[in-house]
Chain A
Amino acid sequence: MYRINNHYEPETVSQAISMLHQNSSLVVIAGGTDVLIKMHGGNLQDVDILSLRSIGGLDRIEKTKDGTMHIGPMATFSQINQSALMQEYIPVLANAAITMGGPQIRNTATIGGNVCNGATSADSASTLFALNARLYLESIEGTRIVPIEDFYMGPGKVDLKPDELLIDIQVEAKDYEGFCGKYIKFTVRNAMDIATLGVAAVCRVDSSGIIEDLRIGLGVAGPTPRRCHEAEDYAIGKEVNQETLQGIGERAVLAAQARTSWRASKEYREHLVKTLSQRAIEEALAEVGGAGC
Chain B
Amino acid sequence: MLKEISFQINGKRKTLKVESGEILLDVLRERLNLTGVKRGCSVGECGACTVLIDGTPVDSCIYLAIWADGKDIVTVEGLGEDGEMSSMQKTFVEEGAVQCGFCTPGVVLSATALANKKQSFTRDEIRVALSGHLCRCTGYKKIVDAVEKEMEEQL
Chain A residues proximal to chain B, CB less than 8 Å:
1-7, 9, 32-33, 36-37, 40, 49, 51, 53, 78, 98, 101-105, 107-108, 190-192
Contacts and interface: CB of A to CB of B under 8 A. Distances in A.
Contacts of A7: 1, 3, 20-21, 64, 66
A189 to B, nearest CB: 9
B21 A107 contact: no
Interface of B: 1, 3, 19-23, 26, 42-45, 47, 50, 56-59, 62-64, 66-67, 110, 128-134
Contacts, number: 84
Contacts of A4: 19-21, 64
10 contacts: A2-B22, A4-B64, A7-B3, A33-B62, A101-B44, A102-B131, A104-B58, A104-B59, A104-B132, A108-B58
Contacts of A78: 56
B128 A101 contact: no
Contacts of B23: 1-2
Nearest to B60: A104
A103 B66 contact: no
A33 B22 contact: no
A33 B21 CA distance: 14
B56 A49 contact: no
B62 A103 contact: no
Contacts of A102: 47, 131-133
A107 B45 CA distance: 14
Contacts of A2: 21-23, 64
A124 to B, nearest CB: 17
Contacts of A191: 128, 131-132
Given A33-B44, A98-B128, A103-B128, A1 B59 contact: no
A270 to B, nearest CB: 29
Contacts of A98: 128
A280 B150 CA distance: 38
Contacts of A107: 56-58
A53 to B, nearest CB: 6
A103 B67 CA distance: 19
Nearest to B109: A104
A105 B1 contact: no
